[in-house]
Structure 1
Amino acid sequence: MEALGAHAIAVKAHVGRDEEAQALVQTAVDRFGGVDIFVGNAASGVLKPITEIDEKAWEWTVNINARSILVGVQAAVPYMRRAGWGRVITVTSIGSRRVFPEYGVVGVSKAAIEALTRYLAVELAPDNIIANCISPGVVITGALDFFPRREEMIAYAEQNTPAGRLVTPEDVGEVAAWLCTDAARMIVGQTIEIDGGYSLLAM
């Protein structure tokens, strides 16, 4: 990012812990003077049948994926209100609405993200703080290495995506950036599918 002329810092944090999620926001405030855009993109989870999920697996997954967004936004909103402008972008997945093997607790956490985004959107829009959610399709990143059926999942998505290719991180980043512009200011509380049409097919 700095090579492109932007100022950036890397902060290591376990966002499933409230104090670390809050400290992450505070570090940005201390370094840059505020927070204009909050992107909730942290993801983790336990891949098991839902009937085998114990308390630890549930709390780990939901805290990192969903609760961290709530805590982070709560910490960032005062600075956005002070500035009179803010954007919140959250990231979910098709697993919030469709059932995939051993994805149960992750899917539940993703559904929670979408609901949380809608509630944040309605509460914050009067302050010119706009919240929206992005739901990418299968994106080739290191996260896929944790899926037991990685190659099968990729092949299936490639064959069943009308656009003819999988989603790239650049596809997702461009939509996230656009949602932060004034051109998108009347898109409020929506979940935007970025999947090349994959979710449109009845399978």
Structure 2
Amino acid sequence: MSLTGRTAVVTGANRGLGESIAEALLARGARVVCAARDEAAAEPLLALGGDRVHFHKTDVRDPDSVERAMASAVGRFGALDIVVANAAVNAPGPVAAMSPEAWAEAVTINLSGTFHCLRAAVPLMRERGWGRIITLSSALSTRPMPGAGAYCATKAAVEALTRVTALEVAADGITVNCLAPGVVDRGMGRALAANERLWGQFLPKLASGRAGRGEEIGAVAAFLAGEESSYVNGAVIEVDGGMGH
């Protein structure tokens, strides 16, 4: 699955699962714009990719910032072929005790941030008649967990937004698909595995008996980013090793 000659924008590629996805795209020959707020955290990725990686300071809460990130891919590498809307936050706590501010932040980053990526990417991809957009959901979108109301709700909404957008742009040569990872050894998943109480609740649900690896998620993202996935559109692909409810 070669991605040589393709250019990707990955939000939140400076850490966690976003970094794993960016690494997978780079390994297959793509050029990557790391769209994130913290450039220092992106240093390992920048060192890995050399002149095929460009950092663009981006805040997905700001639609203008996201538009500039997409434009930077065209300006730096000549095109925008792939977008991975990965940036997200957790807002833990019971719904009745959650502050409106914490709820608003989760909605703004997880859901509106994804919308901003879709809105900015589609016109640029339409111009060329080709594009691959990948959004990020979670196994928790269909497996409610107490204390994760904002995360579960926003990720379920991302799945619906993905399906709608896929229908709207299919005729333009653009596919829009969603990855729904289970427990992964990067980012939020790593923090979950480190919490003995919560990990004890999750481990019996994992048919594979282990957390996933970042590169396993990256490999599926790379498939969705390439030519081979041309007839996969509007799909929510669970990558969880077999995870029960």
Between Structure 1 and Structure 2, the one with more strand by share is: 2
Equivalences for 1:21-32 in 2 at 5 Å?
21-32=66-77
Query: Where in structure 2 are there 5+ consecutive unaligned residues?
Result: 1-25, 27-46
Write out per-residue CA displacement over residues 129-184 of structure 1, whole angstroms, 9 at most, x where no aligned residue.
00100111101123346669733333443443222321111010000111122222
Residues in 1 aligned to 2:234 and 2:97: alpha-carbon distance in whole angstroms: 33
CA contact 1:157–1:166 (8 Å) conserved in 2? no
Return closer, same or farther for 1:34/1:147 CA change in 2, 3 Å cut-off. Answer: same
Aligned to 1:102: 147
SS in 2 for 1:9: strand
Deviates most, 94-103 or 5-14: 5-14
1:190 corresponds, among 226, 235, 244, to: 235
Residues in 2 aligned to 1:5 and 1:24: alpha-carbon distance in whole angstroms: 19
Write out per-residue CA displacement over residues 116-137 of structure 1, whole angstroms, 9 at most, x where no aligned residue.
0001100011101001001111
Quick check: 1:88 aligned with 2:139? no
The number of residue pairs the alignment matches comes to 200
Return closer, same or farther for 1:53/1:18 CA change in 2, 3 Å cut-off. Answer: farther
Residues in 2 aligned to 1:178 and 1:61: alpha-carbon distance in whole angstroms: 28
Query: Where in structure 1 are there 5+ consecutive unaligned residues?
Result: none
Quick check: 1:34 aligned with 2:72? no
CA contact 1:90–1:133 (8 Å) conserved in 2? yes
1:66 corresponds, among 111, 123, 128, to: 111
RMSD over aligned Cα atoms: 2.2
Deviates most, 11-20 or 68-77: 11-20
**Identical aligned pairs, as a percentage?**
36
Post-superposition offset of 1:51:
1.7
SS in 1 for 2:126: helix
| Matched AA of 2:223 | W
Post-superposition offset of 1:95:
1.4
Equivalences for 1:120-135 in 2 at 5 Å?
120-135=165-180
CA contact 2:134–2:177 (8 Å) conserved in 1? yes
CA contact 2:73–2:80 (8 Å) conserved in 1? yes
Aligned to 2:100: 55
TM-score normalised to structure 1 length: 0.89
SS in 2 for 1:163: coil
Aligned to 1:45: 90
